[in-house]
Amino acid sequence: MKKYFLLLTAFILLLSTSACTPKASILFNQRPITKENVMDYSSTFECGSRIYYLILMPEVQHSRYLDIQIIKKGDAEYLGYELFMTRNIRLKDEEDKYFTDYIVINQKGAYIMKVYSKDKPTKVLTQAEFYVR
């Protein structure tokens, strides 16, 4: 009886913690993102080259504005973070579930891109890490 109770408890915990809700995501690419090359994503880029990105949002945003932050990770000695770039974006009518653009970074290092909505400016919609060598 004890085994059945443990099995039932484990099954309930498994179902309650593995919900399949779609989440926002970021894809990086070395070429402009189209339907044909959307799955050719990359996370390592050359210094001074264009870094194309696609932000996918499964839910329509109530606010038409997004905030994008790019944070540079510090060296291993200091473990610090530096706010590298911020950008405010207004989504167009046809861009209710995605946004695509590019950035150019001329400094080597590891970076994190974070996306926020104006609806909830303290909650990160999505984040992704990429490297410039």
SS3 sequence of 69-118 = EEEEECCCCCCCEEEEEEEEEECCCCCCCEEEEEEECCCCEEEEEEEEEC
Q: Do 67 and 118 meet the contact criterion of CB atoms below 8 Å apart?
A: yes
**What is the distance between the alpha carbons of residues 49 and 124, in angstroms, rounded to a whole number?**
27
Residue 1, domain member (yes or no) = no
The proportion of the chain whose per-residue pLDDT surpasses 70, expressed as a percent, equals 80
Give the model confidence (pLDDT) of 11-70 as tens digits: 565 555 655 667 889 999 999 988 888 888 899 999 999 999 999 988 776 778 999 999
Which residue type is seen at 98?
Answer: Y
Q: Give the residue carrying structure tokens 């994190």.
A: 112
pLDDT at 5: 58
Confidence check: pLDDT of 113 > 90: yes
Split into its structural domains, the chain has a count of 1
Confidence check: pLDDT of 98 > 80: yes
pLDDT bracket for residue 78 (50, 70, 90): low
pTM given for the model: 0.79
The encoded tokens of residue 112 equal 């994190």
Residue 106, domain member (yes or no) = yes
Residues whose CB is less than 8 angstroms from the CB of residue 72 and which lie 6 or more positions away in sequence, other chains included: 81, 82, 83, 84, 107, 109, 110, 111
Residue 3, domain member (yes or no) = no
**What is the distance between the alpha carbons of residues 107 and 14, in angstroms, rounded to a whole number?**
44
As beta bridge partners, residue 99 has 55
Residue 13, domain member (yes or no) = no
pLDDT at 84: 92
CATH of the domain at 42: 2.60.40.1930
